[in-house]
Amino acid sequence: MNLPTILLLGGGLLLLPFTATSRPEPPFAGGRYIGAAMCKNCHNGVDKGNAYDHWLSTPHSKAYENLASDKAKEAAKKAGVDDPQKSEKCLKCHVTAFGVDKEKIKASFKPEHGVQCESCHGPGEDHQKKRFAEAMKQGTPPAPMEADEIQVGRKLEKCQKCHNEESPTYKPFCLKERMEKIEHLDPRKKRSEEDLKKLRETDHADCKVCKAAGGEKKEEKKDGGK
């Protein structure tokens, strides 16, 4: 099935960009898309950061499902869309793997699961194969993450492909605020307090969109109580 996606972070996943132009994902390395259910095998449980369960608690996991809501249908109608769950205008930001050839998608992948892990991290097949092979070798420490194995890091421009003014439900987007809601760090990767501080400081390094839309005042109220 050649259904859509693009990365989204945080809440406000109701009917994002309505432009007619499709937005196929960039050609990530990493093999085929496998789906969040496959990621659960190694990324759930307290000792692993509970990434899968945390994803289930976010609006991302309900991004496709929410297109069937009355609110979504009302917004879609104003944009000339009869059924949000069938329109490319909505699906490109509410379903992972938009514009990807079906040969790049494994049977385990379920587009109806909304905005999944691979929207941010890219196709997971190669990562899964490598880590499963490692697990079979007892006593072998995990190999360092390769750049072409899986996508890591946080970039505002990725989120803004869908979280932008084209959306009829757009709200000022601050990566720092959104990451506080969806962050799912793996405790197996040891980070010092200084490492965490630097990581989170970069989230707010360039908040021009947020400030232009009034986000600066929002920060003042939160920090200064004004």
- What's the CATH code of the domain at 127? 1.10.1130
Look at residue 12 and tell me if it is in a domain. no
Look at residue 2 and tell me if it is in a domain. no
Radius of gyration over alpha carbons of the chain, in Å? 18
CA dist 117 and 48 (Å) reads 15
Supply the DSSP symbol for 15.
Answer: S
What is the mean predicted confidence (pLDDT) over 119-129? 92
Look at residue 100 and tell me if it is in a domain. yes
Contact at 8 Å (CB) between 60 and 13? yes
**Residues near 187 by Cβ (< 8 Å), separated by ≥ 6?**
47, 48, 49
Task: For residue 29, count other CB atoms closer than 10 A to its CB.
Answer: 13
Would you state the structure tokens that stand for residue 66, as one six-digit string? 């929410």
| Cα distances (angstroms) measured from residue 204 to each of 136, 159, 178, 185, 219 | 40, 13, 10, 18, 11
Look at residue 160 and tell me if it is in a domain. yes
Look at residue 136 and tell me if it is in a domain. yes
Residue 4 has a pLDDT of 39
Helix (H) or strand (E) holding 212: helix 208-212
Look at residue 31 and tell me if it is in a domain. no
Look at residue 184 and tell me if it is in a domain. yes
Domain that holds residue 129: 36-224
Residue 23 scores a pLDDT above 50: no
Look at residue 45 and tell me if it is in a domain. yes
In the chain, the number of structural domains is 1
Residue with tokens 């003042």: 220
Contact at 8 Å (CB) between 175 and 207? yes
Q: Is 92 or 2 the better-scoring residue by pLDDT?
A: 92
pTM of the model: 0.77
Residue 84 scores a pLDDT above 90: yes
